[in-house]
Amino acid sequence: MPKVSRNSALRSVELEGLEVRLGHLEGGFSVCFERHTADANLGALFRGLPDDRCPLSRLGYVLKGKVSFVFPDHKETFAAGDAYYVAPGHIPLHFAGAEIVEFSPTDVLEKTIKVVMSNLHQGGAS
């Protein structure tokens, strides 16, 4: 698909405090439109991935609020109006009221989603 919008995204994931609309673009990238309605540390969802952290690289833009990513040695926080790049090996921190758009490699995203969904079904989310 050459383009995708929040409304045309074919997949959605809704968890307590999080709504994601996901679409795949040509060229091996996917876009996620995210709304956060609760604060959350998502570390438990990445159990079983390398170092129990998110293996995705992310390019994003914060529409509203803020989002943080925790690395073993530092934390990066981005606020409304910020465009960002986040390297693999992080844990996302969500804040209520945040809205973001992120682009990630589709192949790594799909593998990551499988583990995240498995952890959710096994009660691995805190």
For residue 33, the domain's CATH number is 2.60.120.10
% of the chain at pLDDT higher than 90: 78
Q: Is 3 domain-assigned?
A: no
Angle, alpha carbons 92-119-57 (nearest 5°):
35
Residue 75, domain extent: 11-121
Q: Is 78 domain-assigned?
A: yes
Q: Is 4 domain-assigned?
A: no
Both tokens of 105, joined, read 């490699």
Q: Is 45 domain-assigned?
A: yes
CA 70, CA 34: separation in Å to the nearest integer?
Answer: 18
CB 96 within 8 A of CB 74: no
Please tell me whether residue 108 adopts helix, strand or coil conformation.
helix
pLDDT in tens, 44-93: 999 999 999 999 999 999 999 999 999 999 999 999 999 999 999 999 99
Structural domain count of the chain: 1
What is the distance of C-alpha 71 from the center of its chain? 15
pTM score of the predicted model = 0.89
